[in-house]
Amino acid sequence: MLSRTLVLPLLLCIGNALFAQQDSTRVPDQRLDTLHVMSTRIPSTLPRTARHLQVLDSATLQQAPRPEVSELLRAHTLVDVRQRGPFDVQTDIGIRGGTFDQTLVLVDGIPMTDPQTGHHQMNVPLIADALERVEVLYGGASRTFGGGAFSGAVNLITSAPQGRKGSLLVEGGEYGTYRVRVRQDVANANGGIRVAAFHTSSDGYVPNSDFDMTGGHLNGLRRWKNITLKAQAGAVHKRFGAQNFYSSRYPDQQEITGTYLAAFELRNDAAPWRWSVRSYYRQHEDQFELFRESEDYYRYDNGFFVRGAADTARFTPTFFYTFHNRHRTQVGGLEADVRRTWKGGTTVFSVHGRTEHIRSNVLGRVLDTPVPIRGSRETFTRADERDNLAVHLDHRYERGRFGIDAGILMNLNTQFTPEWVPGADAFFRWNGKHTTYGSYGRAFRLPTWTDLYYDRGGAVGSRDLLPENADQVELGHRITEGRWRASAAVWRREGRDLIDWVRLPGQTTVQAANLTNVDLNGVEFALDWSTTNKRGTGGLMYAYQWADQQDFPFTSLYVLDHLEHNVVGWWQQDLGAGFSGRVNTTWRTRNSTYIRFEDGQKVEYPQALRIDLRADKQLGKVGLFVSAINVLDAQQVDRGNVPLPGRWITGGVSLAWGK
C-alpha cells in the first residue's frame, strides 16, 4: 500500500516537468569544457582529451535518486555495476568488459586497489555530497594510473570546503531503511576543513539481507600563494547479511568489512616548473562468515557451527570450513612528479612507490608463529608482502589544432618480472565544435592474493600465475553544439594471458590460470542536452560490445561474462516554485548465463528495465524529497542466484545552514 500511495504522486510530479512554468531557479550551467581532467599524467581540458572520458558534475551528483557511489555509476555511466546488495553494500564494477579486478577506483588520484581482491575497491568513505565530480575513463589506463587500470578507471574527486556551510539529512523508507548524514565546512580564502559522517541501515528485502554502514570523512585544505596542501582521512564500516553471495548450498552468510584511509598532497602550481608530492595509507579488514554467527542464525560451540538443536557443521561443511575467513591488507604509497612546460611542449616525470602487506588465515605463506586478532578467536596464520615501483615519462605537444600525448611506464615488482607500458593519444580539432581523436595503449594487471593463494570450497588459486596483459586501440569523435554535446567511440582490446577462474574437462574444482586470450570490441555513444531556458537537462548513453572468441575447451567464470547491450538515460527538470524532479532509466543485456541453484538449470540473466524517480521540494533552507528505486518492480540479478530488490521507496528531509 505504501508503494502505490507514494509512486502515483511521484510519477505525476515528474510528468509535470513537461508543462513547468518559468522560474528563477535553474539547473547550474556546468562549464565542463574548461575543467581540467586526468586521462594522462598531464591534466588537460575535455576538448583536448584524446580518450573517452566522462565527467559527472556536482549538479548531477547532488540530485541523483540515490547518493551512493555505486548507484551514481549505475544510473549515469556505461560502467558495469554488479551488485550483491543495494546502496553500496557490496559492489563490483567493470569497464568495457573488464572484471572487478581489472577496473581501478581512485579518490583524488589515490588508488583504492585492494591486493586481496577487487571486491573491496568500492569500500570508500564517501557519498555524493562529499564529491565535486566523478571522472570515468573508459579503456585501459595503466600508463597513467598503473597496473590496476587494466580496462578503465573511476576517479572520485572530493570537493573543497567552502565558507561555513553545514547540512543534515534524515531519510527513511521501506524495509526498515534509515539514513542520516551530517556535514560541516569551516573555510576562508586560504583553506579550511570539512567533516562529514553518515549511517545507513536496513532490515533487508529478503531474509539475511539486512545491513548497516557507518562512515566518516575529514578533508582539509591550505593555500600559500602557489603552494597547496591537501589532507584527508576517512573510515567506513559495513556489516551485511550475505544471502547466497558466494554459495547457494550454504546461503546464510555474513560479511563485516572496515576501510581506513589517510592521505596528503603538497602541490606547487607555479609555472614553468610544477611539482607535487603525495603520500597515502589504506587498511582494509575483512571477516567473511560462511555460517552467519548471530542471533537467529549460527553459534560457535566447541569447534562447530550450530543452529538451534541441530549440529549442522558435523556434516559436509566440516571438511572445508572450520573457521571464519579473516584478512587484513595494508597498503602505503609515495608518489612524486615534476612537470615542465617549454618550447617543445610539456614533459612530466613521475615516480610512484607502493608497498602491500596482507595478514590472513587463508591467503599467503604460512607463518612460523600465528598472530592474534584482537577480539577474535581466529588468528592470522599466513602473510605475504610485495613492493612496487612505477616510473612514468610523458610528453605532450600541441601545434594549432593538433595535439599528441605519448609516454611510457616502467613497472618493477618484487614478485613479478618488469612491465613496459607504452601509449600514445592524439587529437585534431576541426573547429570549436568537432574533435576527432585516436589512442593506443598497453595495459597490465598483477594477480591478487586471492588469485595466488585461495584454496577453499572447491576453488584453488595458483602461485604460478603471471600478470595479464592487453593492447587497446580507440577511435572517437566529439561534437559540442550550443546546448548539446555528443560523442562516439569504437575500440578493440586484445587480451593475453588473462587471469581467469576455470574448470577443466573432467575436474570438479575451479582453478585460477592464465589460460584465456580474448579479444573484445565495442562501440559507445553519448548525448547530453539541456532546454533553452536551462531548467531541464538530460543525457542518453548506449554501448554494445562483443568478443571474437565465444567457446573454450573449459568452463570460464569471468572473461566472457560481460554486458552486451547497455542503455542509460536520465532527465532532470526544475518544475518551478521550489519543485524539481528526476527520472533515471537503465536497460542492459548480459553475455552470460548462470546455473540456477533450485533446479540446476542454465538460465540467462534477466534483461531488466529499471526506472528510478526522485522529487524534491525546497523551502528555503529546508528540503523535502521522495525517491523510488526500480518503480516497475523489475526482476534484477547481477550475480547468479543473488536477487536484487524490487521497488524500494524512501523519503526524507534535509536542513542546510551557513553560507
Strand partners, 428: 402, 436
Peptide bond into 272 cis (omega under 30): yes
Model pLDDT, residue 29:
41
Q: 400: alpha, beta or left, given left = phi > 0 and alpha = psi -120 to 50?
A: left
Model pLDDT, residue 309:
66
- In whole angstroms, give the CA distance from residue 168 to residue 140: 39
Min mean pLDDT across 21-25, 326-330, 381-385 is at 21-25
**Which stretches within 41-104 are classed as H helix?**
58-62, 69-76
Model pLDDT, residue 31:
57
Min mean pLDDT across 53-57, 175-179, 455-459 is at 455-459
- In whole angstroms, give the CA distance from residue 152 to residue 121: 13
Percent of the chain with pLDDT over 70: 93
Model pLDDT, residue 158:
94
**Domain 2-290+323-657 in this protein, CATH class:** mainly beta
Q: Where are the domains of the chain?
A: 2-290+323-657
Amino acid identity of 367?
A: L
3-state class (DSSP) for residue 6: helix
Task: Give the position of cell 608518489.
Answer: 335
In this predicted model, which residue has the larger pLDDT, 9 or 375? 375
Model confidence band, residue 21 (pLDDT cutoffs 50, 70, 90): very low
The yes-or-no verdict on residue 6 having pLDDT over 60 is: no
69-99: pLDDT as tens digits:
999 999 999 999 999 988 999 999 999 999 9
Distances in whole angstroms, Cα of residue 171 to Cα of each of 42, 200, 312, 582, 655: 41, 9, 40, 18, 12
| Residue 463 CA to its chain's centroid (Å) | 28
Which of 510, 390, 378 minimizes the C-alpha distance to 457? Answer: 510
Min mean pLDDT across 59-68, 311-320, 342-351, 585-594 is at 311-320
Min mean pLDDT across 120-134, 175-189, 253-267 is at 120-134
- In whole angstroms, give the CA distance from residue 560 to residue 519: 10
The yes-or-no verdict on residue 26 having pLDDT over 50 is: no
3-state class (DSSP) for residue 319: helix
Handedness of CA 431, 436, 440, 443 (dihedral sign): positive
Model pLDDT, residue 635:
94
Model pLDDT, residue 28:
41
3-state class (DSSP) for residue 466: coil
The yes-or-no verdict on residue 482 having pLDDT over 80 is: yes
The yes-or-no verdict on residue 12 having pLDDT over 70 is: no
User: Averaging pLDDT over each range in 26-30, 268-272, 331-335, which range is the top one?
Assistant: 331-335
3-state class (DSSP) for residue 295: coil
CB-based burial of residue 2 (10 Å sphere; 0-12 exposed, 13-18 middle, 19+ buried)?
exposed
Model pLDDT, residue 320:
58
Secondary structure string (H, E, C) spanning 197-261: EEEEEECCCCCCCCEEEEEEEEEEEEEECCEEEEEEEEEEEEEEECCCCCCCCCCCCEEEEEEEE
Backbone angles phi, psi at 216, to 5 degrees: -150, 155
Model confidence band, residue 517 (pLDDT cutoffs 50, 70, 90): confident
Taking the model in full, what pTM does it have? Answer: 0.92
Q: Quote the cell numbers at residue 341.
A: 612546460
E-assigned strand segments in 446-600: 455-456, 459-460, 468-481, 484-496, 498-503, 510-516, 519-530, 536-547, 555-556, 562-576, 579-591, 593-595
In this predicted model, which residue has the larger pLDDT, 506 or 29? 506
Model pLDDT, residue 657:
96
Model pLDDT, residue 272:
87
271-316: pLDDT as tens digits:
789 999 999 999 999 999 999 999 889 988 877 888 876 555 544 4
383-401: pLDDT as tens digits:
999 999 999 999 999 999 9
3-state class (DSSP) for residue 300: strand
Stretch 162-178: mean pLDDT: 95
Q: Average pLDDT over the chain, rounded to whole? A: 90
Model pLDDT, residue 551:
78
Model confidence band, residue 247 (pLDDT cutoffs 50, 70, 90): confident
The yes-or-no verdict on residue 3 having pLDDT over 70 is: no
DSSP-derived secondary structure letter, 447 = P
Min mean pLDDT across 19-23, 262-266, 511-515, 574-578 is at 19-23
Model pLDDT, residue 30:
46
CB-based burial of residue 424 (10 Å sphere; 0-12 exposed, 13-18 middle, 19+ buried)?
middle
Model pLDDT, residue 301:
81
Backbone angles phi, psi at 136, to 5 degrees: -115, 115
416-473: pLDDT as tens digits:
999 999 999 999 999 889 999 999 999 999 999 999 999 887 889 999 999 999 999 9
Strand partners, 283: 260, 330
Contact 293, 303 (CB under 8 A): no
3-state class (DSSP) for residue 16: helix
The yes-or-no verdict on residue 37 having pLDDT over 60 is: yes
Model confidence band, residue 318 (pLDDT cutoffs 50, 70, 90): very low
As a residue count, the chain comes to 659
Which of 526, 444, 431, 515 minimizes the C-alpha distance to 488? Answer: 526
- Which element (helix H / strand E) includes 174? none
Model pLDDT, residue 19:
34
